[in-house]
Chains A and B, each alone.
Chain A
Amino acid sequence: MTPIRGGPDEILFRAGTGVFAVLLIAVVLAIGGELVWQSRLSIREFGWQFWQTEIWDPVAGQFGARPFIWGTLYSSVLALIVSTPIAIGIAIFSSELSPAWMRRPLVFVTELLAAIPSIVYGLWGVFVLVPWIRRLEIATPESMKRLPLFTGPPLGIGMLAAAIILAIMVIPFTSSIAREVLRVVPRAQREAAYALGATRWEAIRMALFYARTGIIGAVMLGFGRALGETMAVTMLIGNTPQVSTSLYAPQYTMAAVIANEFTEASGELYLHALIEIGLVLFVITLAINVISRAFIWSLDSRRRPVRPVRPGRARPASPEAA
């Protein structure tokens, strides 16, 4: 504790803000506790089996979360693979390369994407994206369809549609934060790079390296958003609890099954199983956040000096710089 200086105002201020901070932690703990309590019947009944079994049968009272865990992680990872390069590309362009007149509209439009309600993405997905994907699926050559990535009938809805819509929804989040992070890279760093004869690309690479922890943070934030996204995914993923690697197969996510079945869940065990799905989602989101945080810390702790531009690749200073 740092010693408190000043009069009662200072103490009050400190106590007040402290209470808010503790309150937030208390809320998170309370959510966790409440989820465990509300799902106790299912936890008692299925134990760890809940994470492993694939059957979800409300009539027989058999509940297993594995297809939902798989669907959530698979769709989010796919979304990340698609969105990360695009988002970082947008961030680099708008912070480093874009002509000044284009910067504002570009930033505005990317941020506008984040303001569109999920259901609108879902509707666009159902009526525009899904027919495109179906055409793509029909056009897939038979030889490719034998690969485990492309099996199944051409439905249009399924993992691919969900992953693409998630990617579009995640891009504005990742790119906005990555852009902010790049903007705070000290000017001196860049100028030093240029002074050493770096090209544009080399200077940007240096800036990216400098900002790497922030960019990883931006990607993880996008991942978190993809994990919890509900409405648009529910409308596009096909809502079929199965574990499949196929992009064309209808699958299911944790958030989607809760949204779909919660209002009509009759019977205590069924309700508790659905809430346990919420608990699993909570735990997984928490775990991913902790892991990414730990990863960022490890990067920070072995903070290496910025890699010098290799002398062999350095170009002679251009005439105008001279």
Chain B
Amino acid sequence: MKLRWTPLMAAALIASAGATLAAQKVQILGGGATFPYPIYSKWFNEYNKRHPNVEINYQSQGSGFGIQQITKRTVFFGASDGPMTGEQLLAAPGKILHFPTVLGAVVPVYNVPGVSQELKFSGPLLADIFLGNVTKWNDAAIAKLNPGVSLPANDIVVVHRSDGSGTTFIWVDYLAKVSPEWKKRVGVATSVNWPVGVGAKGNESVSAQVRQVPNAIGYVELIYALHSKINYGSVQNASGTFVKADVNSVTEAAAAAAANMPADFRVSITNAAGAGVYPISSFTWLLLYENHPDKAKAKVMVDFVKWALADGQKFATELGYAPLPKNVIDMEVKALAQIRTQ
């Protein structure tokens, strides 16, 4: 069929040209942490519905990737599950600001044959298990916290992440806070030299391993524990209460930490004080340049973050994240004003 030039087509062309002129299409590229990817992609999608001219693309390749790429300015914004270190900030060509977006929790998952009750752990106990100091499920240290549970005399199989990950960072950051031995022998990073255990790649593999291997213990993001219907224990917080991770106990950890929140939001909230606090909680951050040469994009990004902090928070719970407490949101909205948009 031959294409014929009709007045209708001409009109359509003119109309579409007019539309492009009216609303410049803005494409923004970001990248980083995998953990917040589900909610970020939801947000970008929802925001695009409200602002059809804005398209935000996100490469979820890990927190380290996000930090590297924003330092090189190959992406407009980065995302990370652990705050950038002072050294990393100095390596960047301009000032980078941190903005917490949602919260997540890391939970101890286990598979102990014959134990149907929910197990209780304390921070030092988890550290001892992952250090290889506690090697049997019926060890006195476990039995003491779980009276009435008949624990088998089996060897504990530790499963940890093999890939560098923000999940690992949150987990070992907590262990280092509650165990001086962990801090000295292993330390805190996105991958560490594990004293014991086997490595599995990704949250999915860790939960698959723990589900399959009898007597295994591992750690995954709360959302994966919920999805894979695997047992996860409660953890004793700094006030001595045993708390199971859920949306409320995680948000409470953030609220507790908000009182002495530093102005740059680079804060670890593991082992936070407060009765209802789940101790292995963390923010996840967006990373933005304070003074990026592309002011048009900066303006759009500020608007997006404002929306994510306000309307966007309502998507958090259904996706398994904990929303930010109000006091943190208020602080962030003020901090957003630092970003130069013209």
Binding site for B on A (CB under 8 A): 55-60, 62, 126-127, 130-131, 134, 153, 155-158, 234-235, 238-240, 250, 252, 256, 259-266
State whether B212 touches A260 (Cβ < 8 A): no
Most chain A CB neighbours (cut-off 10 Å) among B162, B163, B186, B187: B162
Residues of A within 8 A of B187 (CB): 59-60
Tell me the complex Cα distance, A234–B67, Å: 25
B62's partner among A127, A130, A153, A264 (CB-CB below 8 A) is A264
> Is the C-beta of B112 less than 8 angstroms from some C-beta in chain A?
no
Interface size band for B: 20 to 34
Binding site for A on B (CB under 8 A): 61-65, 67-68, 85, 88, 155, 157, 162-165, 186-194, 197-201, 205, 208-209, 212-213
> Looking at chain A's contact residues, is the secondary structure mostly helix, strand, loop, or mixed?
loop
Residues of A within 8 A of B164 (CB): 58, 260-265
A126's partner among B64, B165, B197, B205 (CB-CB below 8 A) is B205
> Looking at chain B's contact residues, is the secondary structure mostly helix, strand, loop, or mixed?
loop
- Shortest CB-to-CB span from A54 to chain B, Å, is 11
Most chain A CB neighbours (cut-off 10 Å) among B68, B88, B164, B187: B164
State whether B157 touches A260 (Cβ < 8 A): no
State whether A250 touches B190 (Cβ < 8 A): no
Residues of B within 8 A of A238 (CB): 198-200
In the complex, besides A238-B200, A261-B163, A264-B65, 9 extra interface pairs with C-beta distance below 8 angstroms are: A155-B157, A155-B213, A234-B201, A235-B201, A260-B191, A263-B163, A263-B164, A264-B63, A265-B64
Residues of B within 8 A of A130 (CB): 212
Considering only CB atoms, which chain B residue lies closest to A127 in the complex? B208
Considering only CB atoms, which chain A residue lies closest to B62 in the complex? A263
State whether B192 touches A58 (Cβ < 8 A): yes
State whether B163 touches A59 (Cβ < 8 A): no
State whether B88 touches A266 (Cβ < 8 A): yes
Residues of A within 8 A of B198 (CB): 155, 157-158, 238-240, 250
Considering only CB atoms, which chain A residue lies closest to B169 in the complex? A264
- Shortest CB-to-CB span from B80 to chain A, Å, is 10
- Shortest CB-to-CB span from A267 to chain B, Å, is 8
Tell me the complex Cα distance, A239–B67, Å: 25
State whether B193 touches A55 (Cβ < 8 A): yes
State whether B163 touches A126 (Cβ < 8 A): no
Residues of A within 8 A of B209 (CB): 126, 157
Tell me the complex Cα distance, A234–B192, Å: 17
Residues of A within 8 A of B190 (CB): 58, 264, 266
State whether A264 touches B191 (Cβ < 8 A): yes
Tell me the complex Cα distance, A263–B166, Å: 11
